[in-house]
Amino acid sequence: MKAAVYYGIEDIRIEEMDKPQINQDEILIKVKACAVCGTDIRIYKYGHFKIPEGDKRILGHEIAGEIAEVGTNVKGYHVGERVVVPPNVGCGHCKMCKQGFNQLCTDYEAFGISWNGGFAEYMKVPAQAVREGNVIKIPESLSFEEAALCEPLSCCYNSYQAVDTKPGESVVIIGAGPIGVLHAMINKIAGATKVMMVDIIDSRLEEVKAIGVADVLINSQTEDLKTRVLEETNGLGADIVITANSVPAIQQLALEIAAVHGRISLFGGMPKGKEFVTLNTNLIHYKELKVVGTTGSSLQHVINSIEIAASDRMDLKPVVTGRFKIDDAKEAFAYAASGAGLKAIIVSEDL
Ligand SMILES: [Zn+2]
Ligand SMILES: [Zn+2]
């Protein structure tokens, strides 16, 4: 089979290799679509602590495909079934796993990080992942491309649950990349009446405009964000602020543009060395703000996201703006890193 193999920082090679062999407790997936995530780009540029130097890895964790082989001990799955494979695999027996928060397992494994992922023609699902329920069937109405996007959507769903957007509320999303768009979509469904999307790249704002998910588009480089948000909210500030980026100053600004009783989702993590951010905590105190963090998603968040994406309430198709084959994996990475379009996705030859 063909695979895009990560050898180390800025070193990805397209290689022919043997199809993975499965044992009686495993499943083999024929990958149909695997989207490129910001995490893939970060690994490509800076490496990852779960990939020791000298190790090779197939990246890609936003995975949709078809079951190609099923181990003889595996019950409930059949060849040909269409599935997604959420990346975070819990141990199954720690406190977080028992509560259903597999993404918070301290002993987690992850496809595309600690295990081989989806930038290949086939991917093995190890027994632990089969047992923990990381192979989830999808309905016929959902294309493989849309299904692959259910993973990033589920991360936004996790954030949405934490801020608990109510009908009639205003939402500011800072960062109009694919993740920002997915936040906008889920908040719209939750009933937000004014979704404001902020970026510094005009072409991105244009893409978002074309999708039609934002009510207000703001380029924060040419316009003062705080002034505009106050204008758009009768001087009250936004009920929900989501920081879909990794800029410390944006976390500071988020507190300023939030309304009284506002909820702030610090969605984007900070890069190493920038994690200490000075915040005006009086804003949290006097405005009774809720500042929440979320990371990744649980299997339940993925299941909810599949339901939404398969319904007529959400159309994920326009989020994909760049399609590539495995041979062009490097181009896909460059496209995703450039910020030019929205989501880059690697699709199989026969999709
Ligand atoms: Zn991702
Ligand atoms: Zn666990």
Where residue 351 falls among pLDDT bands split at 50, 70, 90?
A: confident
d(CA 310, CA 139): 7
Over residues 40-60, mean pLDDT: 94
Identify which ligand lies nearest to the alpha carbon of 91: 2
For the chain, strand residue ranges (E) read 2-8, 11-16, 27-35, 57-58, 62-70, 82-85, 88-89, 109-110, 122-125, 136-137, 170-174, 194-199, 216-219, 238-243, 258-266, 290-293, 320-324, 343-347
Distance 233 CA to ligand 1 centre (A): 32
Distance of CA 166 to the CA centre of its chain: 23
Ligand 1 mean position, distance from CA 55 (Å): 21
Q: Please give the C-alpha separations between residue 151 and each of 36, 60, 349, in angstroms, as whole numbers.
A: 11, 11, 22
**pLDDT tens for each residue of 86-121:** 999 999 999 999 999 999 999 999 999 999 999 999
CA of 321 to the centre of ligand 1 (A): 16
- Count the neighbouring beta carbons within 10 Å of the beta carbon of residue 47: 15
Whether 128 shows a pLDDT value over 90: the answer reads: yes
Which of 12-16, 275-279, 347-351 is the least confident region?
347-351
What are the pLDDT digits (tens) for 234-254?
Answer: 999 999 999 999 999 999 999
On average, the pLDDT of the chain sits at: 96
- 143-192 residue pLDDT tens: 999 999 999 999 999 999 999 999 999 999 999 999 999 999 999 999 99
Contacts of 272 (CB under 8 A, 6+ apart): none
Looking at the CA of 43, name the nearest ligand: 1
* pLDDT for position 340: 82
Dist. CA 61 → ligand 1 center (Å): 6
For residues 89 and 114, is the Cβ–Cβ distance under 8 A?
Answer: no
Distance 61 CA to ligand 2 centre (A): 19
Q: 71 vs 338, which has greater pLDDT?
A: 71
Q: How far apart are CA 61 and CA 57, in angstroms?
A: 12
> At residue 339, does pLDDT exceed 90?
no
From the CA of 261, how far away is ligand 1's center (Å)? 30
- Class of domain 2-149+316-347 as given by CATH: alpha beta
Distance CA 331, CA 336 (A): 9
Ligand 2: distance of its center to the CA of 98 in Å?
Answer: 7
- Residue spans of the domains in the chain: they are 2-149+316-347, 155-293
The pLDDT tens digits of the residues spanning 275-294 come to 999 999 999 999 999 999 99
Among all bound ligands, the one having the nearest atom to the CA of 106 is: 2
> What is the distance in A from the centroid of ligand 1 to the CA of 10?
19
- So what's the pLDDT on residue 239? 98
Is the domain spanning 155-293 CATH 3.40.50.720? The answer is yes
In this model, does residue 229 exceed pLDDT 90?
yes
* Gap from CA of 2 to ligand 1 centroid (Å): 22
**Stretch 315-337: mean pLDDT, rounded?**
96
Decide if pLDDT at 350 tops 90: no
State the sign of the Cα–Cα–Cα–Cα dihedral 250, 252, 254, 257: negative
Average pLDDT (133-141) is 97
